[in-house]
């Protein structure tokens, strides 16, 4: 199989595809509500700090492992060193499974909201009613699960056919459209009466809000948003041409992802204050605020449909990269045919997503480690599994295979990387120690 791996055709195509993995619900749905819950500006600054000090380096490490080995994460670790290191790849497969189970539930919400926007959701524009409608929708035992199924089906359908120019082409067209729409919505949100309070909340840090839980959330989100710590970027790197400059690509993907998260903050938080919503409202924040914004612009229903369709596509490109880690493993390591691997893992992920969805309604009372099932899955994956993966990926590159991943003749990073020394120090010491410290203090 390994001789016929697909490849991204252009550098820009790859960057947009990797950015397609990174940019998703994490940026547009999760980041604004996390910032809202965790004191706005202070969260933003700590999050940016983690992206710069750790995220960028781990991304480069993953790209280099992927391109050097041209393998799925499990195969990559086994090929480079084997032994216990292979467990990092296995943990990545497991993490992809968990993340996609709840991610797809939210992906389903975006599809549902595209439909609802077309059928009169925004007509009243009454903020309270929009909040109640969202609560009723996600708490329903049937409707969101049907949309979750639709979203998983779409994911399975794409991945069953393989990573090829289809993904690349889709991202190339749709990502720029999403970007333009974000700009338009930021402008609308920022010019609402009362928006200034939201801007102040987002930009002026209140460091009295900083505590262990918040730092853990910021670190977990840096990993989640950049798709790091579980081998997604190893997988994407494995499809990358020799000629692409890896540090440059890592910088591009990181910058695009961060830019879009910050824009989402400017799209949501000013509107939250303008409409008198609670910034700490949690997972519903984006889904309640945006329809209220759409009701305040001409052709709101049209823009609402367009936005939620684009958000669904952005979520889909991330979902593809999540399930691709599982599927590439089953195909490469277990010799299962791609369509079968996609379908069977997709069904299992769908089933695991059902309790997540129900935990927002009829299973509200059941808790795992003091959290609802949905929150527990998110916490386990984002705040524990991804950062733990990040520790070991950094240590692996810094201490075990540094020369191999630098070797340009073998698909590694190659000469001409100006910050090799700094990168090595980050991989060896700074990233593992900082992550371990956050993990331990978060417990």
List residues near ligand PHE by CB under 6 A. 21-22, 24-27, 99, 224-225, 227, 230, 232, 318, 321-322
Residue 62 CB, nearest approach to ligand PHE (Å) = 11
* Cα–Cα distance, 129 to 135 (Å, whole number): 10
**DSSP codes joined into one string, 51-98:** IIIIIHHHHHHHHHHHHHHTS-HHHHHHHHT-GGGHHHHHHHHHHHHH
| Neighbour-count burial of 303, counting CB atoms closer than 10 A to its CB (0-12 exposed, 13-18 middle, 19+ buried) | buried
Please, what is the minimum distance in Å from the beta carbon of residue 416 to ligand PHE?
Answer: 29
Closest by alpha carbon to 30, among 252, 308, 294, 220? 220
- Closest CB to ligand PHE among 253 and 413? 253
User: Token match 């914004």: residue?
Assistant: 293
Nearer to ligand PHE among residue 104 and residue 225 (C-beta):
225
Tell me the closest approach of the beta carbon of residue 227 to ligand PHE, in angstroms: 4
In the 8-state DSSP scheme, what is residue 408? G
Complex with ligand PHE: residue 62 or 131, whichever CB lies closer: 62
Instruction: Report the length, in residues, of the chain.
Output: 443
- Comparison of 25 and 267: residue with beta carbon closer to ligand PHE: 25
Q: Strand, helix or coil at 288?
A: helix
Reference 64, options 411, 394, 391; nearest CA is 411
| The pair of three-digit structure tokens given for residue 340, joined into one six-digit string | 């079968």
CB of 230 to ligand PHE, least distance (A): 6
Q: Do 283 and 32 contact (CB within 8 A), yes or no?
A: no
Instruction: Report the C-alpha gap between 173 and 162 in whole angstroms.
Output: 19
Smallest gap, in angstroms, from Cβ of residue 388 to ligand PHE?
A: 14
Identity of the residue, 99 or 154, whose beta carbon is nearer to ligand PHE in the bound complex:
99
| Structure tokens belonging to residue 24 | 């998703």
Nearer to ligand PHE, 88 or 195 (CB): 88
Residue whose beta carbon is closest to ligand PHE = 26
Minimum CB separation from ligand PHE for residue 390, in Å?
Answer: 11
Task: Find the shortest distance in angstroms from Cβ 363 to ligand PHE.
Answer: 24
- CB nearer ligand PHE, residue 55 or residue 131: 55
Contact 308, 111 (CB under 8 A): yes
Shortest spacing between CB 226 and ligand PHE, in angstroms: 6
- Whether 33 and 282 have beta carbons less than 8 Å apart is answered as yes
Exposure of 416 by Cβ count < 10 A (0-12 exposed, 13-18 middle, 19+ buried)? exposed
Nearer Cβ to ligand PHE (258/321): 321
């Amino acid at each position: 199989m390994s001789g016929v791996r697909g490849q991204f055709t252009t550098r820009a195509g790859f960057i947009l595809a990797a950015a397609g993995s990174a940019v998703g619900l994490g940026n547009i749905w999760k980041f604004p509500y996390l910032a809202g819950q965790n004191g706005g500006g202070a969260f933003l600054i700590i999050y940016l700090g983690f992206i710069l000090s750790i995220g960028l380096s781990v991304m480069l490490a993953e790209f280099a492992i992927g391109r050097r080995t041209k393998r799925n994460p499990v195969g990559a670790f086994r090929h480079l060193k084997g032994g216990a290191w292979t467990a990092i790849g296995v943990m990545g497969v497991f993490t992809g499974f968990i993340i996609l189970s709840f991610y797809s539930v939210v992906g389903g919400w975006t599809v549902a909201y595209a439909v609802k926007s077309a059928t009169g959701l925004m007509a009243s524009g009454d903020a309270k009613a929009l909040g109640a409608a969202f609560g009723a929708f996600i708490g329903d035992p049937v409707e969101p699960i049907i949309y979750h199924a639709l979203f998983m089906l779409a994911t399975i359908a794409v991945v069953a056919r393989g990573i090829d120019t289809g993904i690349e082409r889709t991202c190339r067209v749709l990502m720029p459209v999403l970007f333009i729409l974000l700009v338009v919505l930021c402008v609308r949100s920022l010019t609402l009466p009362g928006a200034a309070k939201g801007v102040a909340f987002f930009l002026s840090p209140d460091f009295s809000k900083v505590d262990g839980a918040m730092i853990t959330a910021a670190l977990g989100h840096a990993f989640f948003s950049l798709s790091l710590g579980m081998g997604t970027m190893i997988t994407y790197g494995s499809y990358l041409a020799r000629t692409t400059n890896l540090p440059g690509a890592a910088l591009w993907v990181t910058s695009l992802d961060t830019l879009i998260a910050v824009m989402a903050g400017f799209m949501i938080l000013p509107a939250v204050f303008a409409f008198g919503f609670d910034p700490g409202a949690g997972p519903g924040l984006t889904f309640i605020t945006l329809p209220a914004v759409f009701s305040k612009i001409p052709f709101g229903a049209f823009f609402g449909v367009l936005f939620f369709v684009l958000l669904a596509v952005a979520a889909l490109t991330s979902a593809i990269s999540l399930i691709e880690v599982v599927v590439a493993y089953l195909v490469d390591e277990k010799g299962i045919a791609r369509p079968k691997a996609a379908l069977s893992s997709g069904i299992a992920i769908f089933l695991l997503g059902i309790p997540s969805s129900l935990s927002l309604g009829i299973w509200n009372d059941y808790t795992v480690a003091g959290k609802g099932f949905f929150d527990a899955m998110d916490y386990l994956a984002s705040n524990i599994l991804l950062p733990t993966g990040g520790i070991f990926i950094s240590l692996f590159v810094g201490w075990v295979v540094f020369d191999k991943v630098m070797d340009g003749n073998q698909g590694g990073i190659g000469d001409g990387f100006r910050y090799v020394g700094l990168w090595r120090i980050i991989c060896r010491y700074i990233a593992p120690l900082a992550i371990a410290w956050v993990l331990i203090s978060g417990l």
